Amino acid sequence: MKVIAIFAAILAVALAAPQGRDADAQIVRADVDNIGVGGYRYSYETSNGLSSDEQGEVKNEGREDETLVVRGQFSYVGPDGVTYTVTYIADENGFQPQGAHIPQN
């Protein structure tokens, strides 16, 4: 029984490994600013078309209703070759994504 469990775990790891162009992707740009108390900002881009840009800041610092507010976007190339972009805000109201491919209520 242990052999089957170990084999299943190894198979799962092998299947989860990036395939094709994603396996060879490299970081082509990375910027990190102001990591520390009060806020942060980072962005990166990879050779396979993935990119992300995010910034966060503390709202109402030191008060009972202190919240981290995060704004950002990420883009990726889907299996269909289309580049998808998601912009978002995450704050006291939760994660709020927007994108042309995301259904709106």
Give the per-residue pLDDT at 61: 84
Cα dihedral across residues 77, 80, 81, 86: positive or negative: negative
Average pLDDT value for the chain: 80
49 burial level (CB within 10 Å; 0-12, 13-18, 19+): middle
Euclidean distance between CA atoms 83 and 10, whole angstroms: 32
Alpha helices by DSSP H, 17-77: none
Q: What pTM was estimated for this model as a whole?
A: 0.70
Give the per-residue pLDDT at 10: 53
* Token output for 56: 């966060």
Euclidean distance between CA atoms 2 and 102, whole angstroms: 43
Q: Are strands 39-46 and 51-59 parallel, antiparallel or unpaired?
A: antiparallel
Per-residue pLDDT band at 36 (split at 50, 70, 90): low
